[in-house]
Structure 1
Amino acid sequence: MQVVHYAADDDDGVDDAEGDVLATDAESADSFLAKARGLMFRRSIPEGYALVFPFDGVGSRDLHMVFVPFAIDALWLVDGEVTKRKRLRPWLGLGFGRADTVIELPAGAADGVAVGDRIELRE
């Protein structure tokens, strides 16, 4: 699965109908255990990787960095629209937001993403 970004306020004159690919290897955390574990106990994640947390409906979603020894970028989405973006620090980072989907990416992967932008998951 791919994670593709579409800027909401793109006025550079270039047709970005294809979007910008943030990750080419996205894994879905579908089970309760996969969501609880997240990226814990991994030493690193490769460039082009994302972990996607789909939820049944919009709600308050929190992330923690306990046992995650590297920084990540996190995106909170509602119906594919970015509602929050945050860089989380290793070990101590915390993030909260309303979302029906949360995406974790390597630090720096979401540098061009802003609140209001759209994210699409492609098979």
Structure 2
Amino acid sequence: MRLVHRYGPLEDRQADTLASDVETADTTLQQARGLMFRRSVPDGYGLAFRFDEPRPRTLHMLFVPFAIDALWIRGPEVVHKKRLRPFVGVGRASADLVVELPAGAAENVEPGDIVELEE
């Protein structure tokens, strides 16, 4: 699975791959663990949390020793982006998809852009 970023005017829309190796955290245990206890994540990696409906979703960096970029997505639209610091970062927004990426991977993503998971 990969994560694709689409941006620009409709008549000239461009696309970039934010992550070519995306895991999904589908179980409650996988969602609670997230990236905790990992030493790092490789470039091109993403962890996606999919939910049935948009609701406030919180990410924390407890036991995560590296910075990440986090995207909160409602439908296909990015509603919030935040760089979370190691161990102490916290972020919250309403979304039905939350994605964790290596720090810097979402540098060119802005709220209002389209980001989608593709099989």
Q: Which amino acid aligns with 1:64?
A: H
Distance 1:49 1:14 in 2: 27
The alpha-carbon deviation at position 15 of structure 1 amounts to 5.3
- For 1:44, the equivalent position in structure 2 comes to 40
Q: RMSD of the TM alignment (CA)?
A: 1.2
- For 1:104, the equivalent position in structure 2 comes to 100
The alpha-carbon deviation at position 56 of structure 1 amounts to 1.6
Uncovered stretches (5+) of structure 2, i.e. residues with no partner: none
Alignment of 1:18-97 (within 5 A): 19-97=15-93
Secondary structure at 2:117 match in 1: strand
Distance 2:73 2:118 in 1: 15
- For 1:113, the equivalent position in structure 2 comes to 109
| Higher normalized strand content (fraction of residues) | 2
The alpha-carbon deviation at position 81 of structure 1 amounts to 0.4
Q: TM-score, normalised by structure 2?
A: 0.96
Q: TM-score, normalised by structure 1?
A: 0.93
Secondary structure at 2:31 match in 1: helix
2:3 aligned with 1:3: yes
Count the aligned residue pairs.
118
Q: Percent identity?
A: 56
